[in-house]
Amino acid sequence: MLTPERQQIILELLKTKNVVTVHEMCEATDASVSTIRRDLAQLESEEKLRRVHGGASRLHSKITEPTVMEKSAKNISEKKAIASYAASLVENGDCVYLDAGTSTMQMVPFLRGKDIVVVTNGFHLIDPLIKNEIETYILGGKMKVKTGAVVGAKALDSIETYRFDKSFIGINGIHEKYGYTTPDPEEAIMKRKAIGLSQKSYILADHSKLKEVTFSKVAEISEASIITSYHEKDELKQLKSLTTVEVVRK
């Protein structure tokens, strides 16, 4: 096995596990402990991971590691199913806004090969978008460390200069009375603005977000369509009276 291949496996392991033992890495790569140790020393010097006694851990960097966010995010398979469906709504020629967040990030691989333009405020989305050969615009503004989102007054100005065919928004709370809500006011403003600038807006939300209410209101239920995953029928009834709800089976 070649060195880069081995190191790649180590890094992949770390993406899923946060901490990995030397022994686990030996098994995964069929290499000896010495070799693994040498790899670890090198990868640490490249700041790809942090060595700990017995193995290695991810460097819990503030913004750089979408994987942290990604991994800590629950319901990944559910999100993938939702993302896949959402991506299927995107047609060639569309100008699309992708909100910062894990839900929308899951969409990116499914957009590969489409002839579209994507605008985003999500730092973490840039890399996958580029990798999937999608023409990408980033909003200008303040980098928010915790979420990797571009926010603030400059970002609002920035988004104003675009118009979107479709926007895809991640959300933390959906409630028939209180509408769409998210914890951070600055990000809420961005989401609201994006919805306002789009012909059609879609809210991506796994089932854990239904009936939830968080701090900052983004919009009324009727202002966007909802894409969520399978659920007891009754829970969606009220929402369906207010807007389109697409239910995806995971």
Partner DNA sequence: TCGTTTTTGAACATTTTTGATTGATTTTTG
Partner DNA sequence: CAAAAATCAATCAAAAATGTTCAAAAACGA
Choose which of 9, 15, 18, 197 interacts with its own copies (CB under 8 A). Answer: 18
Choose which of 9, 11, 21, 250 interacts with its own copies (CB under 8 A). Answer: 21
Choose which of 143, 197, 213, 247 interacts with its own copies (CB under 8 A). Answer: 143
Choose which of 16, 27, 38, 163 interacts with DNA (CB under 7 A). Answer: 38
Q: Give the distance from CA 25 to its chain's centroid.
A: 28
Q: Show Cβ contacts of residue 146 under 8 Å, excluding neighbours closer than 6 positions.
A: 62, 63
Residue 138 contact among its own copies, DNA, none, beta carbon within 5 to 8 Å by kind: its own copies
Choose which of 15, 137, 213, 220 interacts with its own copies (CB under 8 A). Answer: 137
CB of 248 to its own copies, least distance (A): 25
Cβ pair 195, 221 in contact under 8 A: no
CB of 3 to DNA, least distance (A): 5
CA torsion through residues 27, 28, 29, 30, sign: positive
Considering beta carbons, is residue 54 or 185 the nearer one to DNA? 54
Q: Give the distance from CA 188 to its chain's centroid.
A: 16
Considering beta carbons, is residue 34 or 72 the nearer one to DNA? 34
Question: Among residues 135, 174, 149, 185, which one has the least CA distance to residue 69?
Answer: 149
Q: Show Cβ contacts of residue 5 under 8 Å, excluding neighbours closer than 6 positions.
A: none
Q: Considering only the C-alpha atoms of the chain, give the largest distance between any 2 of them, rounded to a whole number of Å.
A: 63
> Environment class of residue 126 by beta-carbon count within 10 Å: exposed (0-12), middle (13-18) or buried (19+)?
middle
The residues in 45-104 that bind its own copies, with binding defined as CB under 8 A, are: 46, 52-55, 57, 61-64, 67
Choose which of 38, 74, 112, 154 interacts with its own copies (CB under 8 A). Answer: 154
Residue 127 contact among its own copies, DNA, none, beta carbon within 5 to 8 Å by kind: its own copies
Cβ pair 147, 184 in contact under 8 A: yes
- The span of 48-56, 136-144, 207-215, 232-240 binding DNA (CB under 7 A) equals 48-56
CA torsion through residues 102, 103, 109, 112, sign: negative
Cβ pair 170, 104 in contact under 8 A: yes
Q: Which residues bind DNA (CB under 7 A)?
A: 1-3, 6, 21-23, 30-35, 37-38, 41, 51-55
Which residues of the chain form contacts with its own copies (CB under 8 A)?
A: 2-5, 8, 18-19, 21, 46, 52-55, 57, 61-64, 67, 123, 126-127, 129-131, 135-143, 145, 150, 154-155, 157-158, 161
